Amino acid sequence: MRVQIDFYSYFKDLTGCARAFAALPPGSTIADLLRHLYVRFPKLAPMQRATLIAVGVEYQKPDYMLQDGDEVALFPPVQGG
């Protein structure tokens, strides 16, 4: 299956892109996706504890099971106001 990953704020600078795609085995979770991304974008790895993850417009946890076509967003803590 294939998921889309959007990066926001300085995560775009760390990855060098705003959007990426990943092909993952069926049944993969967000944790699996992160392992994949940390290899591909090593500068993201140190941010792990300060990374927020959404699928669509909802926050999700690492054990969330991804579906084909999911749009995942990865970003640092929010700072509105």
List of residues contacting other proteins (CB under 8 A): 6, 8-10, 52, 54, 56-59, 73, 75-76, 78-81
Smaller CB distance to other proteins: residue 8 or 35? 8
Q: In what helix (H) or strand (E) does residue 75 lie, and over which residues does it extend?
A: strand 71-75
| Shortest Å, Cβ 48 to other proteins | 18
Smaller CB distance to other proteins: residue 39 or 43? 43
CB 14 within 8 A of CB 44: yes
| Shortest Å, Cβ 75 to other proteins | 6
Tell me the CB-side half-sphere exposure of residue 59, using CA atoms within 13 A. Answer: 7
Smaller CB distance to other proteins: residue 26 or 50? 50
**CA 49 – CA 19 distance, rounded (Å):** 21
